[in-house]
Structure 1
Amino acid sequence: MKKLSRPFMVFSALMSTISFNAVAADSFLEWKNEDESQSLKLGGVVRFNHRYESWGGENDGAGKTNFDILRVDLKGKYDDFYLNSSYILQDQEYTSIEKAYVGYNFNKNNSIEAGFVYKPFAIYPYPQNGWTYHIPFFLGYGNNIAPGLNWNYVDQDWDIRLGYYPRMLDTSLRYSPESATYDDLTENAFAFQQGYQNEKQNQVNARLVKKFDTEVGKQEVGLSGAVSQLHNKTTDKNGKYYALGAHANTNIDRWNLQGSVIHYKYDAKNPDGVDSDMTLMGVNGLTPAYFIASEGTISSLNVAYTLPVQDFGKLKAIKFYNDYSYLDKKRHDWSASQMNTTGMMFIANPFLVWADYTWGKNANIIGGATNSTGFTSTSSVNSDKWLYRINLNFGFTW
C-alpha cells in the first residue's frame, strides 16, 4: 500500500521546480504570458462520499462517509504544443492516472496526442450523467486510457478520432477497468481466477461523429470500432477482441438525451479447462478483479434536464438525470445485468454535489462480493435480485 505522504512529497517536489508569477480565480494556480500563447494551470478536486447500501455490510444502517478522491490536474500550452494530465489519490491510499499526454495542433482542425491517452469510443469519456458509473464503464467503455497515440480531426460538422495502443495501462495505475491477466491482478484477484491470462495488445480504436446545429440545440450521431490482439501468456497464442458501437447525443433546449449500443467479443486462446465464456477485468486494487461475459451487447439510455438557478448564492444550476444501462450476454442461460440511476447534480462553483439513487440487478457494483458473478452467470447469493444504493458525493474544486 502507498502512504499518503508519498503523493504529496512528489507533488511538492514538482512544484518547487516551477516558478509562477500570476494567480487566476478559475484554478488553484495559473500562469499566462501576455499573448496567452504560453500557459500553465494547476488545479484539481477533492471529493467525499456518504453511502447507504441495501444488501448490508459496512455501509448499511445509517451509512458511512468516506474519502473518495483527491485529483491533481496540470494543464499547459506552449504555442501549438499542449499538456493535459490528472493524477488521482483514491480511498484506501490507492493511486492512479486518469490521463497524462502531450499534444500538438497542426492547425485548427488537426491534432495528435501521445502518452496515456483516452481510447475514444461511443459516449466518452463519461458514459453517464450521475456520479455512479454504469455498465459501459465496468466493461471498459468509459474514461478508459492506454499508452499510445491519438489523431483527432474536429470541425463544425465532424469529430473524427483514431488511436493506436500497443499495450494496456499497467493495472497499478488504472482508474478505469480493463481486461487483464491474473498475474497482473494477483494482489486483488482470487485463486479461482488464476487460469485467466489474457491481455490486449496492438489495439486500434476509431470514432466517427457527425454533428448538427439545430434551432433547439446541438446534436450528434456516431459510430465506433475497436480491434486488438488478445495474447494469452499461458499458451503464447493470440486470440482477438473487437467492439462495435453506435451512439447519439441530442440536446433540446435544457434537455439532453444520450443513447448507445455496443457489441463486443473477447475470443481468447485459453488452455484446456479455462472457460472462454468469461474474461477477467481489473483495476488498481480498489475494486477486486471480476469476470465479465466474453461476448455481449450493452445498451444505455441517459436523460437529463438542467434547471438554471438565480439569486441563490453560489448555486447556479441543478441537473436532474436518469441513467439506464443493460447488458445482454451471448450465453442465453446467463441472466441480463441492469442498472438504473436517478439523481441530481448541484452546480455551485467551486462546489459540486451529486445525489444518486441506483437500482441494480446482476451487477457487481450493486451487491459487491454478494453479487460477484453479476456480469457473467449470476449464480451468487444476490443474483437476480434488485438491490439499491444511495450515494451522496461532495466535491470541492481548487
Structure 2
Amino acid sequence: MSKKSYLALSIGCLISVSVYAEVQGSPFKWQTEDGAQSLELGGFVRANYRDEHWESQNNGKVLFDNARLNVKAKYNQFYLDTSYAFQDDHKRSIEHAFVGYKPNQNNDIQAGIIYKPFAIYPFPEHAWTFQIPFFLGFADSVAPGISWKNYSDAYDLTLAYMPIMSNGSIRYAPEAGSADELDFVLPNQQQYLNEKRNQVNIRVAKKFDYEFGKQEFGFSSAYSQLHNKETDKDGHYYALGLHALNNYGKWDFQTSAIHYQYDAKNPDGVDGDKILMQSNGLTPAYFVASEGTIGIFNIGYTQPVTTKFFPNLKSVKFYNDYSILWKDRSDWSDSQMDTFGIQFNAMPFLIWVDGSVGKNVNVLGGAKNSTGYTSANSDYSDEWKFRWNINIGYNF
C-alpha cells in the first residue's frame, strides 16, 4: 500500500471512529449547584503527518505532535487557568499558568505565566501551522507577570508587566533570550547573551457589533530593557502593532502590521543586526533580524455542517494565512509564508489539513534554511519550499 493510500485509510478510520464517539467534555468536571466553585481537567493529544518537499528526516512519517493537560478552577471571583505541554524528544513546557480575579464584569486581573497582550493574540492565524509572527515572538507568547484588562462591549484595554521572560527550558513559544540558558547552541550563537527585563505591554481595541458581523480595530505597544550579560549594559526592545478583526457572516479576516526593534549593547565584534531567539523543542535556537516589519493577512470561511453520516462533524473551515517579514537591512531578502487548508471540527476530534509554501522561513527548509530570518545566505535561501501537514487531535 502506498503512503498516500495508507494515510487516506488512517484518516478515514479516524473520522469513522468519531461518528460513534460521544462528546463527553472533560474527563473530570465538578461544580457547585450555583456554579460559584468548580474544577475541570481537560486537554488534547495530537499527531502529525508531513510531506516535506526538501531533504528531511520527517518526510512521510506519522509523528507525535504534543499533548496538553489543562486545569481550570473557580472559587467565587477567583479562578485558575493552566496548560502544561508534553512535546516530543522528552521536552516539557508551560504554555500558560495564572490565577485570576474578576472584581466585576468589566475588570480582570491575572498573575502568573500570562499571555503577552499584543495585536492579534494568542493565535494570529487560522491554520495549525504557525506563521512568521510566532517565530518572532508575537504568537502564543507568555511570560511571568501581571496583567489588568478593562473591557466592555465597545472596547478592550489591557496592561501587562513582565519583570523577566520565561526560562528557555520551560518556554513553549520562541522568545529573544541568552545563549547561556540553552542546552545546545552553535559556536556562532554563544556570544549572544541578551535577555529582556521589565517588559510593559499595552493593547487597546475598539469593538463594533453590526448586523453583518463583529469588527475590532486595535493598537498595541511593547517596551523592555535588553540586558547584555557580558557587557552588563542595558539596551532596549520595542514593538508597535496595528490590527483588525473583521467578520462578515461566514467570512472572517485578520490583518496586522507590526514593527519591532532590538537595540542590544553587545561586546565589540558581535553583530548587532541580529538577535538570538530561543524555543523549547519546536526548533533549535536561531537568529532573527534585529529590526523589521511584519505584515499579516488571513482569511477564513466557516461552513456549518449537519450530516447523519458524520454526526460529530459540526463545521468545516477553509482558510488562507499569509505573513511577510521585511528586514531593516535592505541587502537582506524578505521572508514570506503562506498556508492554506481546511479544518474539520468533529469534536472531540479536530483535524487540520495544511499546505504551506514559503521562502527564507526556517520552518520550511529546516536546518539548511537556518538564516531565513536574517541574511538569507544558507543553502535554501530565496528558494520557495513546500510541505503538506495533516494534524489530527483528540480533545478531552
On whether the aligned pair clears a TM of 0.5, the verdict is: yes
SS of equivalent residue, structure 1 residue 93: coil
Residues 14-41 of structure 1: CA distance to partner in whole angstroms, max 9, x if unpaired?
Answer: xxxxxxxxxx932111000010000000
Gaps of 5+ in 1: 1-23
Match status 1:135 vs 2:132? yes
| 1:189 Cα deviation after fit | 1.5
Alpha-carbon distance in structure 2 between the residues aligned to 1:158 and 1:76 = 27
Alpha-carbon distance in structure 2 between the residues aligned to 1:188 and 1:342 = 33
2:230 aligned partner: 234
Residues 265-300 of structure 1: CA distance to partner in whole angstroms, max 9, x if unpaired?
Answer: 000000100000000001124410000000000000
2:325 aligned partner: 327
Greater CA drift, 335-344 or 49-58: 49-58
Match status 1:369 vs 2:367? yes
Alpha-carbon distance in structure 1 between the residues aligned to 2:137 and 2:147 = 18
| Aligned AA (1:73) | N
Alpha-carbon distance in structure 2 between the residues aligned to 1:38 and 1:80 = 9
2:252 aligned partner: 256
| 1:317 Cα deviation after fit | 0.5
Contact kept? 1:188, 1:285, Cα under 8 Å: no
Alpha-carbon distance in structure 1 between the residues aligned to 2:149 and 2:282 = 32
1:54 aligned partner: 53
SS of equivalent residue, structure 1 residue 269: coil
Alpha-carbon distance in structure 1 between the residues aligned to 2:45 and 2:58 = 21
Aligned ranges 1:220-231 → 2 under 5 Å: 220-231=216-227
Residues 12-71 of structure 1: CA distance to partner in whole angstroms, max 9, x if unpaired?
Answer: xxxxxxxxxxxx9321110000100000000000000000111112133xx111001110
| 1:195 Cα deviation after fit | 0.9
Alpha-carbon distance in structure 1 between the residues aligned to 2:312 and 2:123 = 25
| Aligned AA (1:231) | H
Match status 1:217 vs 2:217? no
Alpha-carbon distance in structure 1 between the residues aligned to 2:244 and 2:365 = 31
| Aligned AA (1:348) | A
2:99 aligned partner: 102
Contact kept? 2:107, 2:150, Cα under 8 Å: yes
Residues 363-384 of structure 1: CA distance to partner in whole angstroms, max 9, x if unpaired?
Answer: 0011010100000000000000
Aligned ranges 1:209-358 → 2 under 5 Å: 209-311=205-307, 312-358=310-356
Alpha-carbon distance in structure 2 between the residues aligned to 1:286 and 1:390 = 17
| 1:92 Cα deviation after fit | 1.3
| 1:214 Cα deviation after fit | 0.5
Residues 213-262 of structure 1: CA distance to partner in whole angstroms, max 9, x if unpaired?
Answer: 01111110000000000000000000000000000000000000010000
SS of equivalent residue, structure 2 residue 105: coil
Gaps of 5+ in 2: 1-22
| Aligned AA (1:346) | F
| Aligned AA (1:38) | Q
| 1:302 Cα deviation after fit | 0.2
1:145 aligned partner: 142
* Structure 1 residues 309 and 285, CA gap change in structure 2 (3 angstroms): closer
Alpha-carbon distance in structure 2 between the residues aligned to 1:227 and 1:197 = 19
Match status 1:76 vs 2:76? no
2:25 aligned partner: 26
| Aligned AA (2:119) | A
1:179 aligned partner: 176
SS of equivalent residue, structure 1 residue 183: helix
| Aligned AA (2:156) | D
Alpha-carbon distance in structure 2 between the residues aligned to 1:290 and 1:146 = 20
| Aligned AA (1:68) | D
| Aligned AA (1:82) | Y
Counterpart of 1:111 (choices 101, 104, 108) is 108
What is the TM-score when the length of structure 2 is the normalising length? 0.93
Which structure has the higher relative contact order (CA within 8 Å, separation 6+)? 2
Alpha-carbon distance in structure 2 between the residues aligned to 1:304 and 1:330 = 30
| Aligned AA (1:162) | L
SS of equivalent residue, structure 1 residue 170: coil
2:384 aligned partner: 386
Contact kept? 2:147, 2:158, Cα under 8 Å: yes
| Aligned AA (2:132) | I
1:88 aligned partner: 85
Q: CA RMSD in A?
A: 0.9
| Aligned AA (2:72) | K
1:193 aligned partner: 189
Residues 69-117 of structure 1: CA distance to partner in whole angstroms, max 9, x if unpaired?
Answer: 1100000100000000000000111000110000000111011100000
Q: How many residues align?
A: 372
What is the TM-score when the length of structure 1 is the normalising length? 0.93
2:10 aligned partner: none
| Aligned AA (1:51) | R
